[in-house]
Chains A and B, each alone.
Chain A
Amino acid sequence: MAGSALRRLMAEYKQLTLNPPEGIVAGPINEENFFDWECLIVGPDGTCFEGGVFPAKLTFPTDYPLSPPKMQFTCEMFHPNIYSDGRVCISILHAPGDDPLGYESSAERWSPVQSVEKILLSVISMLAEPNDESGANIDAAKMWRDNRAEFDRIATRIVRKSLNIPL
């Protein structure tokens, strides 16, 4: 019998594929290794990221779901809560106690109740409503606050790039 982490990941994969939530597709890159996933996230409608299809990868620890996975966009992103290398910084991906930015209450932290689906949905809502308090990308956070037009312009460029549409 496979380990409990593997079994849970397989169950989540099945769940996500049989009932994919709107705007999300996710699964292991290679079904010989269930701990490295890829996913596509569609930019939420009515936001500056609307229409974009953003690829990202999820890396699960061996003790999943006791510890959270890591998420990293593999395309260019410009967002207050995404590091310039694509790593996503939202509270759901941090265990309580592990607090890189110090803004988050433990209520929204990682716990085994969370799942890939919940993570990806949180990321979608993060795209819609950046949290400029915890700045993973300070420039983006500043621009989001002070110069929304410029931010929207960059976001549109990124959306087009994600769709392989020339600028």
Chain B
Amino acid sequence: MELKSLSERKRRTFLRYLDRLGKAKDEDDGEAESGETKRKPTNWMEEAEKRLELLKLRVEKDGGDDDDKDDDDWDDFGSSDEDLSDIEINEKQSKMRIELVILGSLVLSTSVVGNAYYQKKQFYPSVVHITKSNPSMMVMYIQALVIVVLLGKLMKKIFFGQLRAAEVEHLIDRSWYAITETCLAFTVFREDFSTKFVALFTVLLFLKAFHWLVEDRVDYMERSPIISWLFHFRVTSLLLVLGVLDWHFIQVAYYATLTQGASVQLVFGFEYAILLTMVAMVTVKYALHTYDINRENPWEDKAVFLLYAELAIGFIKVILYMMFMLIMIRVYTLPLFAVRPMYLAMRSFKKALSDVILSRRAIRNLNTLYPDATAEDLANTDNVCIICREEMVTGAKKLPCNHIFHATCLRSWFQRQQTCPTCRLEVLRAPGNPIGNPAPPAAANVRPPQQQAAPSPPPPQAANAPQAVPVQPPLPPFIPPHHPFNFPFPMPNIPQQAGANDVRYVPDANGQRPVMPPPFSLPPFMPFVVPPPRPPANLGALSDAELRAMEGQERRHLEARIRVLRDIQTLLDAAVLQMNQYGILVARLEHESNNNTETVRSTGEEAPVASGQQAEEQQPGVSATSSPVENEVLTPEEETNLSDQERLRRRRVQRFMNGGEQN
């Protein structure tokens, strides 16, 4: 077998180091002086020589059929002999202690039972005698506990064989938490406290331990190339037994709650329901692993199946915990003992959810953003996927940096990070493609002009709009040409009016131009020069990635719109300011005209306007609106002083004011 020859080579390399070690020792022997140090090197040398001989023998034999012994040698290496013997002694001692406890409890319980039977001579009276006496009950409890432990050991032997160190460690960790939580649960159910109660909790803990172990064992399947039929037999039978037991206890709890009302059985029913979800998850994992192992070629979708299974079962668990919490709070009190596991369940559900989302995103990006590697691409590289170190034949993807990987390998990597594994280019943040690969932003795919080869003027694409705006300096940066229809009021009128008023007023001011702020240098707006907006694309037809890319662009558009609205607000403010100034101006003009009515001359420009004005003035509607205002401003004496011309002029101003307000 290939592995054998590999371990043979490993041994050979190891041997080289042993030689080196031996050399170092020889050098040292020359230096060693004191008698004390002399004694130890001999020990060490013997040991090293023993090992060397052993290994040389094996290497020469070229067989290596006694693997176990080799592994022992490996394990020993690096740890000194004293430590080893300590561990051995400890193990022996603890084994002896356990045997002593078992024997002691057996002796005690038989003596108690024997004593009772000796006194009472009959079965029932002796039972009563034992239950009435506290010390004898204590002995019986200890005996029961010992039997449970022995049963556990037996089941462990049957279903697991030897436990691995990691499994034992994990088991001990989880047991401590479980025991603490059980003690917390006892505080809630102080009234129900009885032998049966304790026994039920012991059984629960006992079964929990087996659930944890089978979970670890199934996870181990991924780590080992050698899965024996015994392994399959053990796992399937254990899963079956645990599932049946969980179901049985759920039923018991259910009927007990139905017939006797809420009791501690609520907790048991709930705990076994949680354990049942665990059995379900382990079964799914086991089935997936088994299927994977027995396939001829790699199974790429296994990770996805696992993700969804975890998500579904995590969801069920969270629901169960929430229901349990609610019921417990209504019937008893907040079940503190369930808070930690509930938190853990929620956390793992959240993780499963984010994993699913990340995985979906990774798949989407792979499908939309990166091209498949062509045969030519593959031929140009060494054709090995750096993630799995296997050859790429089909299903390879090329990233913008020209690195090529298996699509499935990339998918699982993108679930963790969105970088190229080789050069760490941030692939998702580089949609612009500095290296010039054909990975256009997804939204662009929707629009046909993208594919045109001729370098025509850039089509008004959503992608171009935000960049195009700041490029044109005279154009204010607040008009995305894409959305002229978004102006809710006749935007262009504001500047035109302001400009017109300005022109008309300068001569009026008669050289003394009123101190006005420059009329808000308004650029020529051309909202209708740009083509009308295209009808919105059919969103339903877009893929998720396209939608996402579009979403990003829509966001930019929205920001542009908000900017436009802000600028409009500024414009409006400016317009209001101008209006106020006109008002002030009008008041001042009136004042001026009162002071020197006769000196005011009409300029040449004004005359035609005035005559035109006169004609308008004949219309009753206009004069009717303007005259009351005029009357308000002017006192009767003043009015008599006004020349006709001046009156006309005033009316014009007045009318203008009204017109401005109407706008």
Contacts and interface: CB of A to CB of B under 8 A. Distances in A.
Given A163-B24, A164-B44, A1 B220 contact: no
A75 B41 contact: no
A8 B390 CA distance: 8
Nearest to A97: B417
Interface string A90-112: 00000111000000001100011
Contact of A164 (B9, B21, B219, B421): B21
Nearest to A162: B78
A106 B417 CA distance: 12
B541 interface: no
A112 B386 contact: yes
Interface string B267-300: 0000000000000000000000100110111110
B298 A1 contact: yes
A62 B417 CA distance: 17
B388 A51 contact: no
A147 interface: no
Nearest to B20: A53
Contact of A32 (B17, B226, B299, B415): B226
A66 interface: yes
Nearest to A35: B223
Contacts of A27: 6-7, 10
B402 interface: no
Interface in B586-636: none
Assign chain B's interface to a size class.
35 or more
Given A31-B7, A42-B17, A55-B78, 6 more contacts: A29-B75, A40-B77, A74-B78, A111-B417, A112-B421, A163-B21
Contact of B14 (A1, A4, A12, A25): A25
A17 interface: yes
29 contacts: A1-B295, A1-B296, A1-B297, A3-B292, A4-B298, A6-B224, A7-B388, A11-B389, A17-B6, A33-B224, A34-B223, A34-B224, A34-B225, A38-B74, A42-B17, A55-B78, A62-B223, A63-B412, A95-B416, A111-B417, A112-B386, A112-B413, A113-B386, A113-B421, A160-B28, A164-B47, A166-B28, A166-B37, A166-B44
Interface string A32-54: 11110010101000000001010
Main secondary structure of the interface of B (DSSP, over half): helix
Contacts of A78: none
A51 B223 CA distance: 34
B313 interface: no
B355 to A, nearest CB: 11
B9 to A, nearest CB: 5
A51 B389 contact: no
A113 B79 contact: no
B388 A4 contact: yes
Given A7-B390, A29-B71, A166-B40, A13 B6 contact: yes
B338 to A, nearest CB: 29
A61 to B, nearest CB: 10
A25 B419 CA distance: 32
A42 B222 CA distance: 31
Interface of B: 2-3, 6-7, 9-10, 13-14, 17, 20-21, 24-25, 28, 32, 37, 40-41, 44, 47-48, 67, 71, 74-75, 77-80, 164, 219-220, 222-226, 289, 292-293, 295-299, 302, 386-390, 409, 412-413, 415-417, 419, 421-422, 424
How many chain A residues sit at the interface, stated as a range, is 35 or more
B222 A29 contact: no
Contacts of B71: 29-30
Contacts of A166: 28, 32, 37, 40-41, 44
A125 to B, nearest CB: 19
Query: 4 tightest A-B contacts by CB?
Result: A55-B78, A25-B13, A112-B387, A35-B223
A107 B74 CA distance: 36
A37 B557 CA distance: 55
Contacts of B67: 31
B104 to A, nearest CB: 37
Nearest to B390: A7
A40 B17 contact: yes
A96 B426 CA distance: 12
A162 B293 CA distance: 41
A5 B389 CA distance: 10
Given A113-B386, A165-B25, A4 B409 contact: yes
A12 B6 CA distance: 11
A14 interface: yes
